[in-house]
Structure 1
Amino acid sequence: MTDSYFTEQTFAFLSALAANNTREWFEAHKQEYEDCVRSPALRFISDMSDEMPAISRHFLAQPKKVGGSLMRVQRDTRFSKIKTPYKTNIGIQFRHEVGKDVHAPGYYLHIEPGGCFLGIGLWHPEPDALFKIREAIAQNGERWLAARDAAAFRQRFTLEGDSLANAPRGFAKDHPLLDDLKRKDFIGMCSLSEAEVTSGQLRPQVVERFRTAAPYMGFLCKALELPF
């Protein structure tokens, strides 16, 4: 049994922030944010830096307050219809070492009252990356099916995301893997309970579940000519 990172107070703070999403309220509760959200999240990320090599040596856990694995609490409202200043969830991402300039698969932990989950893969890949993945599926169907349908992976993760209504340009309308070729997202989702998030087993559970996604993540990385 390891120590827990997040507590009931973490979820209470996030719920209170959702109900009082103003800069004035946040400033008055900044120490609570530090104690219940940012500090435990950075501790989790720091400990995950020792675990990531067992998942892949090419994905990074960076425990930095800004620019690392912990996503900003401030919401970018410039192009959003939602104008509240703060996110009401904890987002932790483990990016590929190629960095921000290349659209690469990633691992993700989302903590929010009523909606905690793990995510893997690529959400809304850019057109070039999307074409490469589709081409890899079309040319390596057996390997794709082995990755997509690996028993341990599918026991934990559900494939989700948007799809085209019709076959993508350049691919046969009668291709046997048409449903996969029509995907616009290549993400797997694994729900978590609040009890799991606040337990002392969160880290080993995250590691175990991320490891089951190795065939799927390996396929995506190879399609994009990235090391896995």
Structure 2
Amino acid sequence: MNIPTIFQFLKELSANNNREWFNEHKEDYLKAQSEFEQLLAVIIDRIALFDEEIKGVQVKDCTYRIYRDTRFSPDKTPYKIHFGGYINAKGKKSEHCGYYVHLQLGNCLLAGGSYCPPPNILKALRQSVYDNIDEYLSIVEDPAFKKYFPVVGETFLKTAPKGFPKDFKYIDYLKCKDYSCACSVPDEFFTDKYMLDNVSDIFKQLKRFCDFTNYAIDEFE
């Protein structure tokens, strides 16, 4: 796999995000897409070494179209300027937690968790955290986890969620509107010779979090 090919295409696409340029460089896109799919394939194989549920997951079931849905967006550029893949044993549309790989110039990520969960699942996740707070703390406050994922959630309530005591010592962990976490990495992370070992270290920590959250999510799938 040739990671620089991916970044070079994304760089050129960012500077020429229009249909005419894209159509003229369709072969470049297909080459970059192929390289990204090869990257996902080796990452899937590595994750499967410590998460048996990932065995058998196919790359084609993890990737997304490069075309943006611009119907309700003020940004009318037609193409995404990143490649992303969600490695999920139950499919990329599942609420089940999985492993997300995101390549974008200056904004690469390894992430996962439950992003934008529906109300019933969000309530179940909060209840699980509340009922099993010691177990949850043993994961999210462990320095080995926080090294990669210092914050859980992207958006938060300003007050305690309905149905939970406001004086709960760890109420901030219940204010999450989502239970996702992300590890930002530099672009050169993916060209380092130890890339797969580093991906493994990060996603092993994420698996601990996913196992906890999936226990609650599984009741709804």
Q: 1:6 is matched with which residue?
A: 3
Alignment partner of 1:126 out of 118, 124, 142: 118
For residues 152-187 of structure 1, the C-alpha deviation after alignment (integer angstroms, 9 at most, x for no partner) is 211122224100011111111111121010111212
Give matches, 1:63-78, under 5 Å: 63-64=59-60, 68-78=61-71
Q: In the alignment, does 2:37 pair up with 1:42?
A: yes
Q: Are the equivalent residues in 2 in contact too, given 1:167–1:182 (CA < 8 A)?
A: yes
Q: TM-score, normalised by structure 2?
A: 0.90
Amino acid in the other structure paired with 1:114: G
Q: In the alignment, does 2:83 pair up with 1:90?
A: yes
For 2:130 and 2:165, how far apart are their aligned partners in 1? 9
Q: Are the equivalent residues in 1 in contact too, given 2:6–2:36 (CA < 8 A)?
A: no
Q: In the alignment, does 2:25 pair up with 1:29?
A: yes
Pairwise CA distance, 1:100? 5.3
Q: 2:188 is matched with which residue?
A: 195
For 1:24 and 1:101, how far apart are their aligned partners in 2? 31
Q: 1:105 is matched with which residue?
A: 97
C-alpha RMSD of the superposition: 1.8
Pairwise CA distance, 1:61? 3.9
Q: 1:16 is matched with which residue?
A: 12
Q: In the alignment, does 2:59 pair up with 1:53?
A: no
For residues 17-36 of structure 1, the C-alpha deviation after alignment (integer angstroms, 9 at most, x for no partner) is 1121111111111111122x
For 1:201 and 1:72, how far apart are their aligned partners in 2? 29
Q: Are the equivalent residues in 1 in contact too, given 2:113–2:180 (CA < 8 A)?
A: yes
Amino acid in the other structure paired with 1:122: S
Structure having the larger proportion of residues in helix: 2
* Percent identical residues: 32
For residues 116-150 of structure 1, the C-alpha deviation after alignment (integer angstroms, 9 at most, x for no partner) is 11112111111111001000011111011112122
Q: Are the equivalent residues in 2 in contact too, given 1:45–1:62 (CA < 8 A)?
A: no
Q: Are the equivalent residues in 2 in contact too, given 1:150–1:215 (CA < 8 A)?
A: no
Pairwise CA distance, 1:214? 2.4
SS in structure 2 opposite 1:168? coil
Q: 1:79 is matched with which residue?
A: 72
Q: Do the aligned partners of residues 108 and 18 (structure 1) sit closer, same or farther apart at CA in structure 2, a change above 3 Å counting?
A: same
Q: How many residues align?
A: 217
Pairwise CA distance, 1:197? 1.4
Q: TM-score, normalised by structure 1?
A: 0.88
Q: 2:136 is matched with which residue?
A: 144
Structure 1 spans left out of the alignment, 5+ residues: none
SS in structure 2 opposite 1:211? helix
SS in structure 2 opposite 1:221? helix
Q: 1:161 is matched with which residue?
A: 154
Q: In the alignment, does 2:172 pair up with 1:179?
A: yes
Q: 1:213 is matched with which residue?
A: 206
Q: Are the equivalent residues in 1 in contact too, given 2:43–2:199 (CA < 8 A)?
A: no
Amino acid in the other structure paired with 1:139: D
SS in structure 1 opposite 2:193? coil
For 2:48 and 2:138, how far apart are their aligned partners in 1? 23
Pairwise CA distance, 1:82? 1.9
Amino acid in the other structure paired with 2:58: Q
